[in-house]
């Protein structure tokens, strides 16, 4: 894979941050419908070409930095154009219509593609500023995963490889739901101890559902699960955490900001029962996201659950 063959589809904060990180060493094409979203103190490297013409963003290795709930429609329209490439999903969510993760949507739309997932504890601003970040790169093919790992890693962006695509993908999606619950607890004034309980029990929920769907528990305990959860459930740089804070404070959240965890919670509220997995924290987040009840109601429901062993 040559240094000139990287395309990034999606010029939001994360896609643009990846373009900055990779553009210092590679020739990168960044496609988006609007101008790239950059921190005020960061500039795009000379190696990055920005375009609004999808036909110009053609490369064997293509990163899909698109919101999870828009990915299906994008693939329905453009899947044939992308087929045959190495397609790396950067979305962290579960599709509401199909209850599937991005890798499943990509495989169906692009059956000849090599599918991978890039996920883990990261804020776009940190990546754009060149701060040290470690991510998980998941690909079922060991050889393809190694090639992508070497093509996409930089001195500041360290990629750890796994073949557990399901675990990496679900860890990234489900932690957003728990981060909302953690933010809601703090926003409602319940305190750090309550947040710690929610994060701990939420991680148990994440692991139950992910392993039920075929994930390895070790993957959930790594960067793409626990690592991402720790970051997202404790920092106001996280949109999901800030959304939870707003819910807890009974404040309106900016409708123009994408909150992947809100849609994922609604998907999990259907997916958990289908798989026979109890997801009480996720169920309460789904109810809050849909305007059903309050944080106080959610807390009462969770505390009323039967006492049992951990």
- The CA distance from 93 to 167, in Å, is 13
- The CA distance from 104 to 242, in Å, is 29
Can you say whether the dihedral through the CA atoms of 26, 30, 35, 38 is positive or negative? negative
**Is CATH 1.10.1040.10 the right assignment for the domain spanning 174-303?**
yes
- pLDDT category at 298 given cuts 50, 70, 90 is confident
Instruction: Name the 3-class secondary structure at 197.
Output: helix
Asked if the model's pLDDT at residue 193 lies above 60, the reply is: yes
Contact yes or no for 107/133 (Cβ under 8 A): no
Determine the average pLDDT of the residues in 230-244: 97
- pLDDT category at 3 given cuts 50, 70, 90 is very low
pLDDT of res. 307: 58
Determine the average pLDDT of the residues in 75-88: 96
Residue in 26, 85, 92, 175 annotated catalytic: 175
Contact yes or no for 209/277 (Cβ under 8 A): yes
203 Cβ contact partners less than 8 Å away, ≥ 6 residues apart: 178, 220, 225, 226, 229
Asked if the model's pLDDT at residue 309 lies above 70, the reply is: no
- The CA distance from 108 to 124, in Å, is 29
pLDDT of res. 212: 98
Residues of the chain with pLDDT > 70, as a percent, come to: 96
Question: What share of residues in the chain are helix, strand, coil (percent, to 5)?
Answer: 50, 15, 35
Asked if the model's pLDDT at residue 1 lies above 50, the reply is: no
Contact yes or no for 43/61 (Cβ under 8 A): no
Structure-token pair, residue 6: 């990287």
Q: Are 6-163 and 174-303 in the same CATH fold?
A: no
pLDDT of res. 91: 97
Sheet with 61-64, strands from edge to edge, namely 48-51, 28-31, 6-9, 61-64, 86-89, 114-119, 133-139, 157-162
- The CA distance from 112 to 107, in Å, is 8
**This prediction's pTM:** 0.94
The residues pairing with 62 across neighbouring beta strands, listed in sequence order, are: 7, 87
Residues of the chain with pLDDT > 90, as a percent, come to: 87
pLDDT of res. 125: 96
- The CA distance from 263 to 275, in Å, is 18
Helical spans, DSSP H, in 88-131: 102-109, 124-128
pLDDT of res. 310: 67
Known catalytic membership, residue 175: yes
Give the model confidence (pLDDT) of 142-191 as tens digits.
Answer: 999 999 999 999 999 999 999 999 999 999 999 999 999 999 999 999 99
pLDDT of res. 189: 93
Determine the average pLDDT of the residues in 197-202: 94
- The CA distance from 116 to 229, in Å, is 21
CATH architecture of 6-163: 3-Layer(aba) Sandwich (3.40)
* Segments making up each domain of the chain, as ranges: 6-163, 174-303
């Amino acid at each position: 894979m040559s240094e000139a063959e990287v395309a990034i589809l999606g010029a939001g904060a994360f896609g643009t941050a990846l373009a900055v990180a990779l553009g210092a060493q590679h020739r990168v094409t960044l496609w988006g419908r609007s101008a790239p979203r950059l921190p005020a103190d960061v500039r795009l490297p000379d190696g990055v070409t920005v375009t609004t013409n999808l036909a110009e963003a053609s490369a064997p290795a293509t990163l899909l930095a698109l919101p999870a709930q828009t990915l299906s429609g994008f693939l329905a329209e453009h899947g044939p154009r992308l087929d045959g490439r190495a397609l790396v999903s950067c979305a962290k969510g579960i599709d509401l219509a199909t209850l599937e993760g991005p890798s499943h949507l990509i495989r169906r739309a692009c059956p000849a593609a090599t599918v991978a997932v890039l996920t883990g504890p990261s804020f776009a601003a940190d990546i754009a500023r060149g701060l040290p970040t470690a991510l998980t790169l998941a690909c079922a093919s060991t050889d393809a995963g190694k090639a992508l790992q070497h093509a996409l890693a930089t001195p500041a962006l360290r990629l750890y490889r796994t073949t557990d695509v399901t675990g990496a993908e679900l860890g990234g999606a489900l932690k957003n739901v728990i981060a909302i619950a953690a933010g809601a607890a703090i926003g409602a004034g319940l305190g750090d101890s309550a947040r710690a309980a929610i994060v701990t029990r939420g991680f148990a929920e994440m692991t139950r559902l992910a392993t039920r769907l075929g994930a390895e528990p070790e993957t959930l305990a790594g960067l793409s699960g626990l690592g991402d959860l720790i970051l997202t459930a404790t920092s106001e740089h996280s949109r999901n955490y800030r959304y939870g804070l707003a819910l807890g404070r009974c404040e309106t959240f900016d409708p123009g900001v994408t909150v992947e965890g809100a849609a994922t919670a609604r998907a999990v509220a259907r997916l958990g029962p289908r798989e026979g997995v109890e997801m009480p924290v996720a169920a309460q987040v789904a109810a809050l996201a849909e305007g059903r009840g309050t944080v106080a109601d959610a807390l009462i429901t969770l505390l009323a659950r039967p006492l049992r062993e951990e």
